[in-house]
Amino acid sequence: MARAIKAQTFEKKLTDSMKKMGTYREEYAETIRICAELLSERESIKKMLESDDYVKRTPGVITLERLRSDIAKYLDMLCLNPKIFEKTTIKEKPKLSKLDAALSKIADG
């Protein structure tokens, strides 16, 4: 049986895709992590279902369907769905004023 893909692998792929599309923000890190974990969980369940003789509508299949729905919502939030991406206006991250930059430097030590 093939190994399921780890969440960290999905997280890197999602982050790379978002950076290429110009939609990545550090603030999305937690959402990306959750989506990556859902994708990893989906892969694990798919591998399990491939190895066993499951029939339709077993708990594993129902869980897989729910994960698919949850993943779709997270991909929409991260603008990784082509329809959502087309409708999204990408705003530039606001630049810090000189005063904010200086205060940030002082605060960071």
How many Å apart are CA 25 and CA 92, to the nearest integer? 10
pTM: 0.57
Provide the 8-state DSSP code for 22: T
Is 101 or 36 the better-scoring residue by pLDDT?
36
In angstroms and rounded to an integer, the radius of gyration of the C-alpha atoms of the chain is 19
Residue 16 clears pLDDT 90, i.e. is over it: yes
Q: Distance (Å, rounded) from C-alpha 5 to C-alpha 43?
A: 7
Using one digit for the tens of pLDDT, what is the confidence trace for 56-108? 567 777 787 788 888 888 888 887 776 776 776 666 767 777 888 788 788 88
Q: And the tokens for 41?
A: 């969980």
